[in-house]
Structure 1
Amino acid sequence: MPTTFLNHGFSVLPNWGLILVEGPDAATLLQSQLSNSVLGLKRTFSGEIAQGLGSVRLAGYCSPKGRLLASAWLGLFPESTDSDDRFALFVSKDIAASIAKRLAMYVLRSKVKVSDASNDWEIFGAYRDDQNLEPAYEVDHSLSLRMPDVSIANHTFERLLIAKRKSESSESLIQVDALEQWNSLEVLSGIPRIVLATQEQFVPQMVNFESVAGVDFKKGCYPGQEIVARSQYRGAVKRRLQLAHSNLSSSALDFAKPGVELFHESDATQPCGMVVLAATNPENADRIDFQIECKLDALETGEIHLGMPTGPVLKMDILPYPLLEI
C-alpha cells in the first residue's frame, strides 16, 4: 500500500453536525419522517460502539416530492439504562439547523424534543485498516457508531463517527492528512451524503440509496413515500450514482465540489448529472475522486465533462456494491 495512505487516523470533521431527537415519542416521530425504519434499534450506551444493522441505520429525509433533503447515520444512545430514547442523527453540518427545525414542526403535542446539537458537540472521524488494529478507539462519554467498511488496495478500513461534548473534548484540532483520507474513504464508499448544495436534487434511488440499505420499502408512510415507492416498482429512475475520477489542475478545483453540474459531449445545453461528493485522492494529489449522479444513457458512449461542456473529463470507476435492479 502506498506510504501516502495512513493505516489509521483520527480528526475533527468540520463538515459534520449532529441532531438529537429525544423523549418517549422520539421513535414514533422519526418513524413517520425517515425513509428507513428506526423501530427495533438496539440501545447503545456510553463506552459502547453502535455497529451492525441492529444498531446503526442510514436514512433519508425527503420532501413531499420524494427529493432528499438530508441523509443521516443514526443510532439510539440513551443517557442511561432507565432514560428515555435519544436518537443521534449524524448529518452534514450545513443543513443540521434547517433539518432539526423541520423535524420539530411535526412534534406537535408529542413528548419529544428535537435539537441541533452541532454547536455543543464536536464530530470526529476515526479509521483504521484491518491489518492494523491499533490504536484502540476511545469512546467513553461519546456517541459512537461504525459506518460500513471501505476496501482499497486489498485493505479494508473500519470507520467510526464519534460525537463528543465540547466541554469534554480536548482533541479539537483538524488533522489534515487524516481528514483528507477520511473524506476519500467516504467518497470511495459510494454512499452519498446530502449537503446544502444537493438538497432536493435526488430521489433516493438516483443516488443508490436503496442499494446501500437507506430505504425500507415495508415501513409505513413518510414524506415522499409514494414517489419513492413508485420509482422503485415502476422502474422510473434512469439515473444513478457512480464513482469517477479526474486529474485536475489547481485552476479547475472549483469543479471538485457538490452541486457542480456535468455535461455530456453530445449535448452542451442540458446537464446530464451532478457532483454528489468529491475528495482528493491521498495516493495522488493531482487526482480527485467523485461521487456523481448521472443519466444512465450518458454513460454508454462519449465523454462526460465537469462544470461545463468543455470542462475536465471524468473517467468512470467501479462501485463497491451491486445495484438493486429497478
Structure 2
Amino acid sequence: MTTSPENTAIAATSLNHGFTPLTSWGLILVEGSDAAALLQGQLSNSVIGLKHTLSGETAQGPGAVRLVGYCNPKGRLLASAWLGLFPESVDSDDRFALFVSRDIAASTAKRLSMYVLRSKVKVLDASNDWDVFGSYQSSQGEQSTVLPNEALALRMPDVLAQGQSFQRTLIAKRKTDTNTSPVDEAALIQWNSLEVLSAIPRIVLATQEQFVPQMINFESVAGVDFKKGCYPGQEIVARSQYRGAVKRRLQLAHKEASESSLDLAKPGMELFHDADASQPCGMVVLAAGNPSHPDRIDLQVECKLDALESGEIHLAMSNGPVLKIDQLPYPLLEI
C-alpha cells in the first residue's frame, strides 16, 4: 500500500518524539574496584577516564559514552555495546553499564566473567531485572524524558532522518510490579528506523563472529581505540587497519517492502551479486521499516567493495529482491 504525501507528512509529524520499551535490548553491569581494568583488557575501546554519571542523570558525549566491541581471538565481533559509567553514589565503586542486544547479553556476561579470576569485580547480566527503553525526539519535538533517580541513561549519536535531526537516549530502569509499560509500536518502528539510518552497527545473535570491526565501519564510528593496550583479537584488528586488508564495508541500502521480503530482511541474511550467484557477497547487519515510507525497508548491509562497482546486489538469494545502495551519513576512515 502506498501512502499519499499528505499521510506521510502526518505520520512523520506524529513521530517527532516517542518513548517505548526495547524488548530486544539487554543490560550488563560490571561493578567493583577492578571493573575498569577488566574491561580495558577486553574491549576494543578505552574505558579509562570515562566520566562518572550519577543515577538520574544522562551520560552524554565521548567523555561519558563509548561504543565498544568485544572480539574473539580471531578479531571477530562477539558483541557490541553502548557503555557508560554509573556508580550508585559518589563514593561507590565503579559500575559500568553495557547496553547490548538481549539475545547475546547472557553469553557476553558469561565470557567476561571468565576473566574476573581474583579481581574485585562482578559481571552481571541484568536483563531480567532491568527494563531497557528508547526515547527519541527531533529538533522540533517535545522536551526530553524526565528520568527517575534510579535510571541509567546514555545519549546515543544524533541521526538525520526525514529532514530533521533526532536525539536518541537509551534508558534502563529496575523492574517493579508497577513500572511495566506496553510497547508503543509506532515509536518502536521509528526507533528501529533511526538506528538503521544511523549506520552504526549492532551485533545480534545472528551476526556474532561474522565481522572484523572494520568490515562494519566500527572504527569509523569511534568504536575502536588503536592506541589502547591489548584486548582479544587486537593484533588482527590493528593489522586490518594498517595493512589495508579490509575489502568489505558496511553500507546503507533500501528496497521496496513486500510481505515476502520482510522475512528476508533480517540480520544474518546473505547477499548475492548477479555476477556470481554461487557465493554470497555480503550480509544483512540490521533492517527496519521506514515509518515515513511504508513501502520501503532500510538496511545496514556488510558487502564486498568490488560488488558495488557494477551489477546488482540481491537479498537472500541470487534472484532475490534488488537492493539500492544509499549514502553513509559519515566519512570512512581510510585504510
TM over 0.5: yes
Deviation at 1:169, TM superposition (A): 6.0
Q: State the partner residue of 2:205.
A: 196
Q: Quick check: 1:185 aligned with 2:199? A: no
Shift of 1:142: 0.3
Q: Tell whether the 8 Å contact from 1:139 to 1:162 is kept in structure 2 after alignment.
A: no
Within the alignment, does 1:272 sit opposite 2:249 as a pair? no
| CA displacement, residues 98-146 of structure 1 (integer Å, 9 cap, x when unaligned) | 0000000000000000010000000000000112242543243100000
Q: TM-score, normalised by structure 1?
A: 0.98
Equivalence for 1:307: 316
The letter for the 2-side match of 1:211 is: S
Aligned residues: 326
1:231-246 to structure 2, matched below 5 A, reads 231-246=240-255
The match for 2:4 is none
Q: Tell me the TM-score normalized by structure 2.
A: 0.96
Q: 1:130 and 1:34 mapped to 2: Cα distance?
A: 33
Task: State the distance in 1 between where 2:134 and 2:288 align.
Answer: 15
In the alignment, which residue of structure 2 is the partner of 1:160?
A: 169
Unaligned runs of at least 5 residues, structure 1: none
Query: What SS is found at the alignment partner of 1:138?
Result: coil
- Select 1:228's aligned residue among 220, 237, 240: 237
Does the aligned pair in 2 maintain the 1:49–1:139 contact within 8 Å? no
Between the aligned partners of 1:240 and 1:137, the Cα distance in structure 2 is 38
- Aligned equivalent of 1:52: 61
Partner of 1:101: 110
Q: Which residue of 2 aligns with 1:30?
A: 39
SS at match of 1:150: strand
Q: Deviation of residue 288 (structure 1)?
A: 0.5
Instruction: Give secondary structure in 2 for the equivalent of 1:272.
Output: strand
**Aligned-residue RMSD, C-alpha:** 1.1
Give the ranges of 4+ consecutive aligned residues of structure 1 lying more than 6 Å apart after TM superposition.
none
What is the one-letter code of the residue matched to 1:4?
A
- Corresponding position: 1:321 with 2:317: no
State the distance in 1 between where 2:126 and 2:145 align.
Answer: 27
| SS of equivalent residue, structure 1 residue 98 | helix
1:187–1:291 contact (8 Å) kept in structure 2? yes
Out of 4, 9, 21, the position equivalent to 1:2 is: 9
User: What amino acid sits opposite 2:160 in the alignment?
Assistant: S
State which of 112, 115, 122 in structure 1 corresponds to 2:131: 122
Q: Distance in 2 between matches of 1:203 and 1:169?
A: 42
Q: Which residue of 2 aligns with 1:90?
A: 99
Contact 2:25 2:99 in 1 (8 A): yes
Compare 247-256 and 26-35 and name the one that shifted more.
247-256
Letter in 2 for 1:162: I
CA distance in 1, matches of 2:218, 2:29: 23
Aligned CA distance change for structure 1 residues 169 and 269 (closer, same or farther; 3 Å) = farther
Secondary structure of 1:291's aligned partner:
strand
CA contact (8 A) 2:162 2:292 kept: no
Asked if 1:208 corresponds to 2:217, the answer is yes
Corresponding letter in the other structure for 1:101: K
**Contact 1:279–1:288, Cα closer than 8 Å, also in 2:** yes
Give the CA deviation at 1:170.
1.6
Mapped to 1, the partners of 2:187 and 2:92 lie a distance apart of 35
- Equivalent residues of 1:248, 1:312 under 8 A apart: no
In structure 1, distance between residues paired with 2:10 and 2:309: 36
- Looking at structure 2, the residues matched to 251 and 68 of structure 1 have their Cα atoms a distance apart, in angstroms, of 30
In 2, Cα distance between the equivalents of 1:137 and 1:51?
Answer: 15
Q: CA deviation at 1:174?
A: 0.4
Whole-Å Cα distance in 1 between the matches of residues 212 and 178 of structure 2? 37
Partner residue of 1:146?
Answer: 155
**C-alpha contact 2:130 2:175 (8 A) present in aligned 1:** yes
Worse overlay, 251-260 or 298-307: 251-260
The aligned amino acid for 2:10 is: T
Deviations along 1:264-308, one digit per CA (max 9) or x if unpaired, are: 000000000000000000012221100000000000101000000
Q: Distance in 2 between matches of 1:107 and 1:256?
A: 38
Letter of the 1:89 partner, please give it: L
Which residue is equivalent to 1:72? 81
Query: 1:295 is matched with which residue: 304, 308, 314?
Result: 304
What is the one-letter code of the residue matched to 1:114?
Answer: V
